[in-house]
Amino acid sequence: MSSKLQALNDWVDQVANHTRASRVHWCDGSGDENRKLIEAMLESGDLEQLNPETHPDCYLHRSDPADVARVEHLTYVCTEREDDAGPNNNWMAPAEAHALMNGLFAGCMEDRTLYVVPYCMGPIESPFSRCGVEITDSPYVVANMRLMTRMGSDALARIERDGRFVKGLHSTGDLDPDRRYIVHFPEELSIQSFGSGYGGNALLGKKCHALRIASYQARTEGWLAEHMLIVGIQNPAGEIRYVAGAFPSACGKTNLAMLIPPEAYREGGWKVWTVGDDICWLHPGEDGRLWAINPEAGFFGVAPGTSAKTNPNALAMLDRETIFTNVAVTEDNRPWWEGLGEGKPAKDWRGRAFDPKHGPAAHPNSRFTVSIKRCPSYSDQADNPDGVPIDAIVFGGRRASLAPLVLEAHDWTHGVLVGAGMASETTAAATGQVGIVRRDPMAMKPFCGYHFADYWAHWLDVGGKLTRPPKIFQVNWFRRDAGGKFIWPGFGDNMRVLEWIMARCRDEADATDTAVGKLPDAGAINLEGLEERPDMEELLRIDPAEWRAEIEAIGKHLESFGSRVPSQLHETLGRIREAIG
């Protein structure tokens, strides 16, 4: 097979020659093709079958133990001018990066099949969707891309119609961490990834295309590519309003995206619909509102902590047609992870007999891959080519102290400052130390394909085009008490905060103005049905001394991006500094 697009055929030929691939397979995305791939992976040991009685069509992949997370220190944005990549990215000159990658890819697919994977990010018929083709030598990547994107013949047909696509080249190489690079050429609309099979490094449609390349394109085209979930919140009157939320990796997007409201809310008629859990493309509409699509078609979710109590919707879809990566297994070969709340591990994520002295049974960044259509709260609007209109944007992070449960920005510019100043404790989603507070503007630190200062200017520009901009909020589910316990119950109970946010969007709830934003009045958050009343005073406390230090730190952080930082952000910060005294 080949395509009707000469440029695509030429590129595939050229890569096949350079990598000396032994076979070329064009993926059509069919069930039959998938079954054959799975069979081959079961034979090669890439996959293990899980218990077919309890988990039909579920498989376990154990990755190389040194290839379990994104590698931010080996991820590069290669623009002609270093300044365009910004201090937020590692940079390499394009010529140097091409020379390096050409060397690594030379002959790397000898004895391997080269898969051509056409994919579409977003509904096939949406004008907002963008296509790409990933060339990979990993059948695991093909099977995951089939769940995560609209992959195969339909995507190829659209690519042939459009005549343009993002070129992604991937090889697992020999998995040597010293020969591992994830490089992006935004000016060429291309990506090259070598030496890793892990999600964000290898499923190129996801972070590499839909965030790094897309954010760069979005800037020139007047839209935003964001690390955000999208949910629809249906109130007792039956109206559905949409919220987009940016939280850093492993900080709660998937959980918020498929939240089940507490019983009292459900009985009252509240319901939450899932549109997306990780990536959101936002377009200013002709009506002056911001419209969102989820470019993905599946979830690549964090397994640990997922239970019938914390996330019943996730658990309900993980018992069939799911690929698990680096989880543990029980004696009867069911998937298991810390926080699952039932069963016990027999083998750990590396396949060894479980022994607590080796650490957790499941890797802390173990994941599940599953189609979004399997989600019980899947929204029928997720396939709408026009997207959904956004009423509120929520920025969140893991902060043990300082950040209150919820805070409303004074206006769009203040909201952009709130996003730009975001900080969060690091997690296992990327290699490196866990639990360190770092600035992660808009949860895009690892994913923005250009200079952060230009990115914030672009946010302000987009806001300027909106006559009905979403309100912007900051939330923190992770504040801890003196004993280190989370004060807020989180998960389904986050609905209580969403209710206040939705009421604010309809101008129906009061708020107290403070220097750092608008806070709910005492008693404004509905606590009905909670077994234990959380310490709301502590959750909503603004400590002026702590905040003064934070404002200084945000000022330094903005300054580190130099003179390109929009002056409005410095001015807004200055006003807050004065107001807090």
Question: Residue 494: which of ligand SPV, ligand GTP, Mn ion, none does it interact with, CB under 5 to 8 A by kind?
Answer: ligand GTP
Distance of alpha carbon 203 from alpha carbon 185, whole angstroms: 16
Q: Under the criterion CB under 5 A, does residue 278 sit at the interface with Mn ion?
A: yes
User: What is the CA 519 to chain-centroid distance, rounded?
Assistant: 28
**Where do runs of H (alpha helix) occur along 290-422?**
312-317, 412-420
- 168 labelled ligand-binding: no
Catalytic site includes residue 251: yes
Give the residue with the Cβ less far from ligand GTP, 197 or 360.
Answer: 360
To ligand GTP, the closest distance from the beta carbon of 256 in angstroms equals 7
**Of 27, 120, 208, 251, which is the active-site residue?**
251
Q: What phi-psi label fits residue 200: left (phi over 0), alpha (psi between -120 and 50 degrees) or beta? A: alpha
Give the residue with the Cβ less far from ligand SPV, 206 or 504.
Answer: 206
Positions in 463-502 near ligand GTP (CB under 6 A): 477, 486, 490-491, 494
- 190 labelled ligand-binding: no
- 120 labelled ligand-binding: no
The phi, psi pair for 383, rounded to 5°, reads -100, 5
To ligand SPV, the closest distance from the beta carbon of 370 in angstroms equals 14
Considering only 15, 145, 147, 302, the residue that binds ligand GTP (CB under 6 A) is: 302
The one-letter code for the residue type at 74 is: L
Give the residue with the Cβ less far from Mn ion, 212 or 496.
Answer: 212
Question: Residue 547: which of ligand SPV, ligand GTP, Mn ion, none does it interact with, CB under 5 to 8 A by kind?
Answer: none
Name 131's bridge partners: 120
The secondary structure of 126-140 as a DSSP string is -TT-EEEEEEES-HH
Give the residue with the Cβ less far from ligand SPV, 429 or 442.
Answer: 429
- 574 labelled ligand-binding: no
Helix H or strand E encompassing 153: helix 153-162
Q: Under the criterion CB under 6 A, does residue 294 sit at the interface with ligand GTP?
A: no
To ligand GTP, the closest distance from the beta carbon of 87 in angstroms equals 23
Give the residue with the Cβ less far from ligand GTP, 255 or 326.
Answer: 255
What sign results for the dihedral spanned by CA atoms 152, 157, 158, 160? positive
Q: How many beta carbons lie within 10 A of that of residue 363, not counting itself? A: 25
Q: Under the criterion CB under 6 A, does residue 158 sit at the interface with ligand SPV?
A: no
Residues contacting ligand SPV: total by CB under 6 A:
9
Positions in 477-536 near ligand SPV (CB under 6 A): none
Q: How many beta carbons lie within 10 A of that of residue 356, not counting itself? A: 9
- 476 labelled ligand-binding: no
Positions in 246-265 near ligand SPV (CB under 6 A): 249
Positions in 423-452 near ligand SPV (CB under 6 A): 429
Segment interacting with Mn ion, rule: CB under 5 A, options 234-242, 276-284, 354-362, 385-393 = 276-284
Name 549's bridge partners: none
Considering only 249, 377, 426, 474, the residue that binds ligand GTP (CB under 6 A) is: 249
Distance of alpha carbon 131 from alpha carbon 566, whole angstroms: 32
Give the residue with the Cβ less far from Mn ion, 262 or 364.
Answer: 364
* Residue 32 CB-density burial (10 A; 0-12 exposed, 13-18 middle, 19+ buried): exposed
Give the residue with the Cβ less far from ligand SPV, 76 or 270.
Answer: 76
User: What is the CA 392 to chain-centroid distance, rounded?
Assistant: 18
Positions in 341-360 near ligand GTP (CB under 6 A): none
- 253 labelled ligand-binding: yes
The one-letter code for the residue type at 236 is: P
**Where do runs of H (alpha helix) occur along 308-361?**
312-317
Q: Which of 289, 322, 564, 291 is nearest to 451 (CA)?
A: 564
Q: Residue 73 corresponds to which tokens in the numbers above?
A: 């220190």
To Mn ion, the closest distance from the beta carbon of 247 in angstroms equals 8
- 149 labelled ligand-binding: no
Considering only 209, 212, 241, 253, the residue that binds ligand GTP (CB under 6 A) is: 253
What SS3 class is residue 54? coil
Distance of alpha carbon 555 from alpha carbon 566, whole angstroms: 13
Distance of alpha carbon 301 from alpha carbon 168, whole angstroms: 23
Q: Under the criterion CB under 6 A, does residue 207 sit at the interface with ligand SPV?
A: yes
Give residues with Cβ within 8 angstroms of 119, minimum separation 6.
131, 132, 133, 134, 145, 149, 150, 151, 155, 205
The one-letter code for the residue type at 355 is: D
Question: Residue 490: which of ligand GTP, Mn ion, ligand SPV, none does it interact with, CB under 5 to 8 A by kind?
Answer: ligand GTP
Residues contacting ligand GTP: total by CB under 6 A:
21
Contacting residues toward ligand GTP, per CB under 6 A: 247, 249-255, 277-278, 301-302, 304-305, 310, 429, 477, 486, 490-491, 494
- Residues flagged as binding site for substrate: 70, 198-200, 249, 365-367
- Catalytic positions, please? 251
